[in-house]
Amino acid sequence: MSNKISVDICIIGAGSGGLSVAAGASQMGAKVALIEKGEMGGDCLNSGCVPSKALLAAAHAAQNMRDAGRFGIQTVEPEVDWSAVHGHVHEVIKSIAPNDSQERFEGLGVTVVRAAASFINERTVLAGDYEVRAKYFVLATGSSPFVPPIEGLDKVSYFTNENIFANRDPVRHLIVIGGGPIGIEMAQAYRRLGARVTVMEMARLLMKDDPELSKVVIRKLTDEGVEFHEGCRNLRLEKQDDGGIAALCETDAGAQCVSGSHLLIATGRRANVKGLNLDAAAVSYSPHGVEVDTRLRTSNRRIFAIGDVAGPYQFTHMAAYQAGIVIRNMLFKLPARVNYSSVPWVTYSDPELAHVGMSEADAIQAGREVRILRWSFTENDRAQSERRTEGLIKVVTTAKGVILGASIVGLHAGELIQPWVLAITQKLKIGAMASMIAPYPTLAEANKRIAGSFFTDRLFSSATRRLVRLLLKF
């Protein structure tokens, strides 16, 4: 016999989005159940954002030792203890885990059920020994690595983001299939930690980002020794006699054969919808995820979906944003709707690559009349003092100065993008950014400088000079 639970809100999935809804709703007085079949904290804590950034931090520390010569400090080739690096990554996870723990949420009054959930009707799910009935449900089941049908893949062992952070052993040569953010971040991390790295991409590297800026990242990784093959066709894998892996493909440059010791598949993610028995709940879905409207309601109006399973962006911060939307809908009966016009994203390579709003290509495709502003970090005094002048800021505005989008490649781009997120969210004009007082010397001063460049032609025009000469006569 199942134990029956009746709640106001039942959340399936204890990742970023699910935990945000559970914490908010329970503290506002709702009776909440949270179902999770795996680890609390989901992908972000255990195999995504947190461990990847911890690994990148170790890699940056190693690279700083190699780059010290530019400051007059003797360069040292670091000795990497892979087991100790693994320990560092998992200590970081351990330090954050209490915020996402079952104990914390039970302390908030949430009923936590650790089992797989499956709908038995439109208002009820079965999870282990529990039958949970709720007024509202929130699907927050996340996504899993998408592993494409590559010839020979079934004959070799490989990493995805779900198991690469469990690795304690040295990596001699890592082959990365996929040149998106995950592939690029891991490629640079492993290269800086001493491995040879080859990235093989079927299309264009960092294809969702502005190619003018992504080339800066690829050039930096190339200088550090990462090898790239774009436009790979007919990719196949072979297991070698020594236990290694051979990756073969065809490119415009000819046939390629790469022999490595380890393989990482970083070809995107797929929404987790299997096993939920969504048909019984009258929820429409596809392999791409659950179908939702602008209020994040599914075809069953009492069931919402957020995060990777709902899309369209698979970011932790998007799940948290969507959590706020469904809380307003469920608890306060407000018709809150999503607005994706100012969604930022960051690739945490070195230099970082950040974006929000419309790109230049988006503007051209939309037929918008726009102005494109560019500002190089070579013009920034703080970047010069840090000896990190690679990169630029690129901003898209209307002819009247309304900010439509911004992209940044450079040191701390993920931090520098945030004023542009606010500007687009609040529909500010470029003059608002130009008029702010930026402390000197900071990298953020570049935001003010590029904004000011919008007015340069008008400010220093012949008409302005004539006006000044006239006014000076009085």
Residue 18, annotated as binding a ligand: no
Nearest by Cα to 22 from 96, 95, 93, 106? 106
183 annotated as belonging to a binding site for a ligand? yes
Measured CA to CA, the distance from residue 254 to residue 233 in angstroms comes to 10
> Residue 109, annotated ligand binder?
no
308 is in an annotated binding site: yes
Please state the three-class secondary structure of 218-248 as a single string: HHHHHHCCCEEECCCEEEEEEECCCCCEEEE
The answer to whether 111 is a known ligand-binding residue is no
Cα(417)–Cα(228) distance, integer angstroms? 28
DSSP string, 98-162: GGG-HHHHHHTT-EEE-S-EEEEETTEEEETTEEEEEEEEEE---EEE-----BTGGGS--B-TT
Cis geometry, peptide bond prior to residue 148 (ω within 30 degrees of 0): no
- Reference 32, options 112, 125, 139; nearest CA is 112
Q: Is 169 annotated as a binding residue?
A: no
Residues contacting 149, CB < 8 A, separation 6+: none
Q: Is position 179 annotated in a ligand binding site? A: yes
268 is in an annotated binding site: yes
> In the numeric block, which tokens belong to residue 61?
């520390």
Residue 333 token pair: 């009966």
User: Is 184 labelled a binding residue?
Assistant: yes
Q: Is 298 annotated as a binding residue?
A: no
Element (H, E) at 5: strand 3-12
Annotated binding residue 181: yes
Q: How many residues does the chain have?
A: 474
Residue 72 annotated as part of some ligand binding site: no
The binding site consists of 53, 141-143, 178-185, 201, 268, 308
The binding site for NAD(+) consists of 178-185, 201, 268
The binding site for FAD consists of 53, 141-143, 308
